[in-house]
């Protein structure tokens, strides 16, 4: 999006927000929005009118605002409810990310014990073994595509083992996950995505049948037990929860590991500092989360009650989308916000969200990133980009900031 286009655009569409061109220039665009249009109009097709939030303080306020709902059924009357865009939508949307209290609290309680500090720490040796095994495969070749060879398989193996999912199925999740996070109502994309989601639902049905016959000590078996108790989890909620844990359990971490490595490759002084001072790893991870936030835009929030923001009335049924990436570059909160500084102090980023929907797997993602990056730098100390940084391409994707690939040599 050129400077001329930025100045002439009055309403952004979801296809623009999802484009590679937007991803390439998003940070400069967000900077302009924070200065002059912190509430920016969106046209979201069948979802209606929306607003893009770019400032940190607004993001914090709205992420906790009870006038905004994640479940559209809490906003629309029976006559107003939009028809499902996808045939398989109902089977995959009844999860805690699309729910409000008290349902959200009920659903979150069912899985949060698997993500406690104690449970996550018990995974440390397993994650370390996975990281080493993945590097064992590529180290003799002295090159790899970080996304395919390391950043994707590590978290998908971890979450698959937690859930009790056969590892041979993990490549399928990559395709299905992209269909789920691909926010588009273009007819051809809808048809393709609906087909893929249909495959995913069939897979979940088969998996759940098997787990009912042969329960084990995994998280899916525990969720099936909750579903069998009737009042805690419906069948649709069961499928939706499994889907959410698979997708959210790896997508953010893939991007965190990849984006952090890319940032270090683009900032040689910071890379060298981290090599010389590995005790800065935790701080470096937090800065990577801020600098290239893995989740660029939040999922949809619906306005249940009208309110005023920056002199503009936000009407009932309006959609609110918050740019976590923009909030995390807000100059009023982060001095030298466009500088990648692994020693940044008071790093109050909101890469994992804020409020009720703060990411349940944040601690797991941080641990996976710490082990992955520490192992990568220890075993491949001379790692470098294979190619020019300008050649690296961001995916065209609404929700995520993700690189298509990251070729490295060492």
- DSSP per-residue codes, 115-148: GSHHHHHTTHHHHHHHHHHHHHHHGGGTEEEHII
Of 176, 172, 166, nearest in space to 207 by CA: 166
Whose tokens are 């990436």? That residue is 325
| The token pair that represents 284 in the structure block | 């470096």
Q: What is the pLDDT of residue 4?
A: 41
Percent of the chain with pLDDT over 70: 93
Looking at residue 49, what DSSP letter applies?
E
Cβ neighbours, 10 Å, residue 262: 21
φ/ψ (deg, to 5) at 50: -140, 175
56: Cα separation from own chain's centroid: 18
Cβ neighbours, 10 Å, residue 393: 12
Long-range CB pairs of 96-99, under 8 A, 24+ apart, other chains included: 96/241, 96/244, 96/357, 96/360, 97/70, 97/244, 97/248, 97/299, 97/357, 98/70, 98/71, 98/240, 98/299, 99/70, 99/71
**Which parts of the chain have pLDDT scores under 50?**
1-8
Whose tokens are 């929907």? That residue is 357
- Integer Cα distance of 213 and 223 in angstroms: 14
Q: 389 vs 20, 117, 126, CA distance in Å?
A: 16, 37, 33
Q: What is the pLDDT of residue 357?
A: 95
Q: What is the pLDDT of residue 2?
A: 44
Q: Cβ-count burial of 390 within 10 angstroms (0-12 exposed, 13-18 middle, 19+ buried)?
A: exposed
Domain boundary assignment for the chain:
3-409
Residue 151 neighbours by CB under 8 Å, 6+ apart:
253, 254, 255, 257, 258, 261, 372, 406
Q: What is the pLDDT of residue 5?
A: 42
Angle at 51 between CA 46 and CA 54, to 5 degrees: 140
* 38-66 per-position pLDDT tens digit: 999 999 888 889 999 999 999 999 999 99
Q: What radius of gyration, in Å, describes the C-alpha atoms of the chain? A: 21
User: 3-409: what fold?
Assistant: Cytochrome p450 (1.10.630)
* 236-260 per-position pLDDT tens digit: 889 999 999 988 889 999 999 999 9
Element (H or E) spanning 312, and its range? strand 312-314
Q: Specify the pTM.
A: 0.92
């Amino acid at each position: 999006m050129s400077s001329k286009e930025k100045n002439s655009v009055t309403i952004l569409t979801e296809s623009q927000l999802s484009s590679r061109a937007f991803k390439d220039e998003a940070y400069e665009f967000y900077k302009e929005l924070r200065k002059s249009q912190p509430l920016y109009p969106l046209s979201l097709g069948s979802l209606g009118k929306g607003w893009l939030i770019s400032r940190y303080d607004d993001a914090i306020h709205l992420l906790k605002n009870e006038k905004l709902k994640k479940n559209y059924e809490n906003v629309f009357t029976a006559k107003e409810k939009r028809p499902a865009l996808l045939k398989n939508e109902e089977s995959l949307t009844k999860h805690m990310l699309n729910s409000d209290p008290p349902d959200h609290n009920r659903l979150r309680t069912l899985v949060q014990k698997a993500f406690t500090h104690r449970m996550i720490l018990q995974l440390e040796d397993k994650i370390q073994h996975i990281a080493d095994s993945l590097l064992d495969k590529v180290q003799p070749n002295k090159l790899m595509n970080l996304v395919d060879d390391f950043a994707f398989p590590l978290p998908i193996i971890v979450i698959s083992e937690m859930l009790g999912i056969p590892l041979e199925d993990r490549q399928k999740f990559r395709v299905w996950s992209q269909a789920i996070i691909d926010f588009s109502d273009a007819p051809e994309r809808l048809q393709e995505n609906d087909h893929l989601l249909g495959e995913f639902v069939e897979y979940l049905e088969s998996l759940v049948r098997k787990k009912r016959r042969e329960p084990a000590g995994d998280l899916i078996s525990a969720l099936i037990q909750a579903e069998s108790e009737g009042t805690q989890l419906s069948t649709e909620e069961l499928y939706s929860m499994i889907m959410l844990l698979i997708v959210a359990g790896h997508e953010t971490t893939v991007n965190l590991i990849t984006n952090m490595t890319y940032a270090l490759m683009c900032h040689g002084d910071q890379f060298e500092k981290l090599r010389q001072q590995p005790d800065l790893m935790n701080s470096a991870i937090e800065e990577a989360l801020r600098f290239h936030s893995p989740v660029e835009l939040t999922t949809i929030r619906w306005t249940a009650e009208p309110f005023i923001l920056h002199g503009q009335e936000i009407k009932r049924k309006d959609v609110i989308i918050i740019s976590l990436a923009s909030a995390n570059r807000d100059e009023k909160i982060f001095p030298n916000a466009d500088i990648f500084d692994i020693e940044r102090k008071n790093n109050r980023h909101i890469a994992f969200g804020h409020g009720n929907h703060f990411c349940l797997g944040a601690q797991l993602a941080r641990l996976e990133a710490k082990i992955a990056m520490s192992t990568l730098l220890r075993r491949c100390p001379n790692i470098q980009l294979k190619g020019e940084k300008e050649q690296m391409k961001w995916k065209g994707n609404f929700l995520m900031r993700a690189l298509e690939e990251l070729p490295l040599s060492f």
